[in-house]
Chain A
Amino acid sequence: MKRLDYYLRETATGLRRNGIVAFAAMSTAFIALFLFGLALLIGKEFNLVIDQVTGSVEVAVYLTDDASADTVARLTQSLEALPAVASVTYESKDEACARFKTLFANQPAFSENTDCAVLPASLRVRLADTSQFEQINAAMGCSFDATGKQTCTQPGVAEIHDFTDLLNKLTAITSILSVGILAVAFIMLGAAVALIANTLRMGMFARRKEIGIMRLVGATNWRIRVPFLIEGLVESLLGAGAAVIALFMIKVTVFDRLRTELPWAPIIRNSDVLAIAPLILIAGAVIALIAGTVGMRRFLDV
C-alpha cells in the first residue's frame, strides 16, 4: 500500500510538471486510437450492410410463378449436387415481399406501389467456391445470348442473378476504407509513442538530480522507472478513454443518423462500440509500454 501511494504521488507530480507535453501526448494517443476504433467500426458496418443486401448468398435462382413444389424440390436437389454449392435455401414469394418492404421502407412511393405478386420466389445459393458460377448456369440450362439477354431452359427457372460482383465491390470498398484509416492510425500511433517517450525523457531530465541521488543511495532501477512508466500509461489510457467516448459520440451522431437516412440498412449497435473498447484500451497500454522502453533506454544504465 505504501509503495502504491509512493508511485501514485510520483505520477501525479510528473503529469503536473510537464502539463503541455503530457497533453500533446495524450491528444495524439487519442487521435490514433480513435482512428483505430473508427476503422474497426466501419469494417463492422460494411459487413452488416453486405449481409443485408445479398442475404449473405452469392447466387439467387429466380423461379417462374408456375413452378410446382415438385419442380422446386428437383431444382434444389440438382443444385445441391453441384460441388461448387455449399447450401441452398428456398425463399417464397411472401418472404421475398417482406424483404423488399424492409429494403425500401424509406421510399413508401416505391414499396406501396409495388404489387408483391410480381416478386418471384427464389432459391438462394451459397457457394463454396465463388469462381465456379458457371456450374450453376450449366445446371439450370441458362446462357447469355449476344445481346446479353439471359435464357434458361430448365423448367421453372426464370433467371439467375449472380451477386459475386457486388459482393466483391462492397468488400473492396470496405477494405480500402479500413486499410486507409488503419494506415493513418498506425502513423498516429507511432507519433503517440514518440511523444509519450519524449514526455518521459523530459520528466527524467527535469529530475536528473533526484534520480542521481536515488541511484547513489541504492534505489533499484525499477523503483526509479515505475513512476515514469505509470505516467506514460496514464497518458495513453486517458487518450484511449477519450477515444472510446468519441467513438460513442460518432455512433450516436453519425451512424444513428444513417438509421433515418437509410432505414433499410442495419446499423451498428452500442454493444458493437462496447466490444471494441477493450481492444482500444489494450492498444493504449501497448503504446505506453513501447514508449516506456524507448524513452528510458540508455537513461538508466547503472
Chain B
Amino acid sequence: MISVQHVTKVYKNSVLALDDVSIDVEKGEFVFVVGASGSGKSTLIRILLKEEEATKGDVFVAGKNLEKLTSWKVPYLRRNIGTVFQDYKLLQDKTVFENVGFALEVIGKPKHVIDQRVPEILDYVGLGEKLNSYPDELSGGEQQRVSIARACVNRPLVLLADEPTGNLDPNTSVDIMRLLDKVNRIGTTVLMATHDQAIVDAMRKRVIELDKGQVIRDQARGVYS
C-alpha cells in the first residue's frame, strides 16, 4: 500500500530531512513512525501526500508512483488518503456535520451521498449526537474524532496521522487510539507519526524509528525505544 524506496529529501536550504529511507507497508497494516522532533516524520508524511517531492528515490502510495503523477492527478491520489493532524484543522464557522460534509462536497459528491455518509461516519466515531455542534463547543478529543471522521468519510485506503494525540491528555489519547485501531480493523492502512511513548508501548504494533532522517529500527510488535 505504501512503498518508499531509497528516498532522500534535501530541502532548499540544504537541510537533509530524509536520508536513504526505505519502508514497505502492506495493505491493512498499522505502523507507528517514531523519533525525536526533526527526525523526518513529518517530511515523510508530506512526501506520501505529494506535498513535497523526494529529492531521490521512488515513492508508491495506493498503487501510484508519485514521481510520475502529474499535478492535476494529485487531488485524485489524495482522495484515497485520509489525513489527521495534531491541530485537528477544523473550520470553526462550520458545524460538525458541515466540517465532515465539506470533505465530500468539495470533491463533488451529491447531497444525498453527504446526507447518508456523514451521520453514518459520525456515529461510527461516537459523535452521532453532536452533528450540529460547533468545534469550539467540543473537547479536544471530540474535535479529533471529527477530524478522523472527516479523514475517513470518503473511505480512504490509507490513513496518515501526524501526532494525532499530541494535544490530548493520556485518557483521551487512549480513546483516540481505540478509534484509529477500529478504523484499521476495517482494512484501512494506518501510518501514524508520534512521540507518545505510552501509546506505542501499549499498542504493540509495528514501529519504525527515524533518527536524523535515517531508519534506525523497523520492528514488528515493537515498543517506543
Contact = CB atoms under 8 A, between A and B. Distances in A.
Nearest to A5: B111
A2 interface: yes
Contacts of B110: 2
B27 to A, nearest CB: 20
A219 B89 contact: no
A213 B89 contact: yes
A293 B76 CA distance: 23
Given A209-B89, A209-B91, A302-B50, A215 B78 contact: yes
Contacts of A302: 50-51, 71, 74-75
A215 B107 CA distance: 10
A216 B48 CA distance: 12
B111 A219 contact: no
Given A3-B108, A223-B108, A302-B50, A217 B154 contact: yes
Given A209-B91, A210-B91, A223-B108, A217 B150 contact: yes
A92 interface: no
Interface in A223-248: 223-224
B8 to A, nearest CB: 21
B74 A219 contact: no
A1 to B, nearest CB: 10
Contact of A212 (B80, B89, B105): B89
A220 interface: yes
Max chain A Cβ within 10 angstroms of own Cβ: one of B75, B80, B111: B75
Contact of B83 (A209, A216, A221): A216
Interface in B63-80: 71-72, 74-80
Contacts of A301: 71
Contacts of A210: 91
B49 interface: yes
A180 to B, nearest CB: 45
Interface residues of B, number: 25
B107 A219 contact: yes
B72 A218 contact: no
A29 to B, nearest CB: 29
B102 interface: yes
A187 interface: no
Given A209-B89, A209-B91, A213-B89, A218 B78 contact: yes
Nearest to B93: A210
Contacts of A215: 75, 78
A177 B199 CA distance: 78
Nearest to B71: A302
Given A2-B110, A3-B108, A220 B91 contact: no
Interface of B: 49-51, 71-72, 74-80, 83, 89, 91, 102-103, 105-108, 110-111, 150, 154
Given A218-B107, A219-B107, A221-B75, 10 more contacts: A209-B89, A212-B89, A217-B78, A217-B102, A218-B79, A219-B75, A220-B107, A224-B106, A302-B74, A302-B75
